[in-house]
Amino acid sequence: MDYPAVRTCWKRHGDFKERFDASIHRDRAWHVMTRTSRCHFVLLFSDFDTSCDRLPEHLRYLSVTIICGDNLPLTGPPVNVTCNIFINSFGSITETTMDYRLNVFLRQQWNDPRLAYKEYPDDSLDLDPSMLDSIWKPDLFFANEKGANFHEVTTDNKLLRIFQNGNVLYSIRLTLTLSCPMDLKNFPMDSQTCTMQLESFGYTMNDLIFEWLDVGALQVADDLTLPQFVLKEEKGLGYCTKHYNTGKFTCIEVKFYLERQMGYYLIQMYIPSLLTVILSWVSFWINMDAAPARVGLGITTVLTMTTQSSGSRASLPKVSYVKAIDIWMAVCLLFVFAALLEYAAVNFVSRQHKEFFRLRKKLKEQQRQRTQASGDGTAKGKSVSGNDAPRGNMAHQCTACAREEELVQQGLLFHSFGLALSAEGAPEMDATPVFADLPPGLGFYDIRRRFVDRAKRIDTVARAVFPMSFLMFNVLYWLTYKVLRHEDLLAKL
């Protein structure tokens, strides 16, 4: 069998060179067909020497056929381009910019009968990538692309293969940054769906149609791993035909289903905030007289939660809706702030015995002044006319009534503690109806002990109420976001 000698040679045409792979036979010619946007050229070469060095002298055109303009066949079915993708790596998924990065091998296959050949015995020819400029290629682009890079190390990462029947295989390696709109309501327990859309830019569906390969349309590297997500095996292959003012253009898409792994957020956000809330409860066991310790602990936990809440939002976009992590941080901040306010209430109650005795002293002074004023008013009333006496008595009575009402209103607080501003039965206090409820013989230390016991009861109740409330919140929170909403998201995918 006569096998051709294959040489890659340069042919000079005037001021430029042409590189081509020439299959040189002893007794036959070799055809090279190329095409531009409006014309295609059929060049017939002949050579009987296998030396590339002597090629410019012996290689000559036997004929040149040029078909241009209206001579091209403009009717016929559209070209079907079959696509498949191999995902080499799936890079970072960024929530702030809502995009993802991946490295792929994009393969396109179509049939061009003008490139069919019979002279070469092999089933296919692997051509140099520079020949891509000499043949027709689909004008594919990525509709949701933000940025892309070709790879040229160590050479152009492109493959061009032509088969005997005219089928053309074109493969290229790309690094793409594609947009991925995200719904972060369930963050960080969310699942996202990111798409890749492949579309024709200039050819309508009357000229060009993209379709997925029947078997193995989307392949993933075996060792592919993502830092925060799990790429599910289900891939949504479909069509996304686009309708514009310029016509209807072919479009195919693939959907990647990603489920977030929240291990990072458990370690960096949830567990530290949980420990901060528990730390704020330590103040319930600290003596109420240790005001610097309890206030310092409360302020520290509040500031810590504020810092953690700000840190959780730093890596997220400024969206208008509430996320799951926002609810968690807000409730944790509410609990530590409530623990600080609880000590404020305890401190206020424990010091009310001082206010109690201050009001008793004030009431005694008011009673003394009222008694003295009544005596003076009676003596003065005898020396004034009959018309002025009732007016003066009425004024004194109104003043006394207002003072008594004010003291009674201030004393309502102490009725809630089982105390009253009463001194009846106590030798050191005057007999007044306002003090009627005070037990006989109750001294300063007994009254103080009553208020301190009430303040201690607040601490005791808080030791049980705060943990139980936070436990109930955790049950509702994790049940809602990890179970109920997670099932709803899975049903939508």
pTM, rounded to two decimals: 0.69
pLDDT on residue 434: 33
pLDDT on residue 43: 41
What's the CA gap between 493 and 192, in Å, rounded? 9
- pLDDT values of the chain reduced to their tens digit, one per residue, 493 residues: 333 333 334 344 443 344 444 433 333 333 344 433 334 444 434 343 444 444 343 333 333 333 344 444 456 899 999 999 999 999 889 999 999 999 999 999 999 998 998 888 888 999 998 899 889 999 999 999 999 999 988 899 999 999 999 999 999 999 999 999 999 999 999 999 999 999 999 999 999 999 999 999 999 999 898 989 999 888 889 999 999 999 999 999 999 999 999 999 999 999 999 999 999 999 999 998 899 999 999 999 999 999 999 998 888 899 999 999 999 999 999 999 999 999 999 988 888 766 666 776 777 777 778 788 776 666 555 544 454 444 444 444 444 445 445 544 544 444 544 454 444 433 344 443 333 444 555 555 677 777 788 889 999 999 999 999 999 999 999 999 988 876 666 666 5
pLDDT on residue 218: 95
What's the CA gap between 35 and 134, in Å, rounded? 6
What's the CA gap between 25 and 365, in Å, rounded? 131
Q: Are strands 218-220 and 79-94 parallel, antiparallel or unpaired?
A: parallel
What's the CA gap between 277 and 33, in Å, rounded? 76
Number of neighbours of residue 275 by Cβ within 10 angstroms: 12
pLDDT on residue 27: 35
Q: Which two tokens stand for residue 248?
A: 């209807």
What's the CA gap between 140 and 126, in Å, rounded? 22
pLDDT on residue 414: 47
Query: How far from 277 is each of 34, 46, 282, 296, 326, CA to CA, in Å?
Result: 74, 87, 9, 15, 16
What's the CA gap between 356 and 352, in Å, rounded? 6
pLDDT on residue 69: 40
Q: Are strands 247-249 and 242-244 parallel, antiparallel or unpaired?
A: antiparallel
- Quick one: CA torsion of 319, 322, 328, 333, rounded to 10 degrees? 80
Nearby residues of 401 by Cβ (< 8 Å), 6 or more positions away: none
pLDDT on residue 251: 97
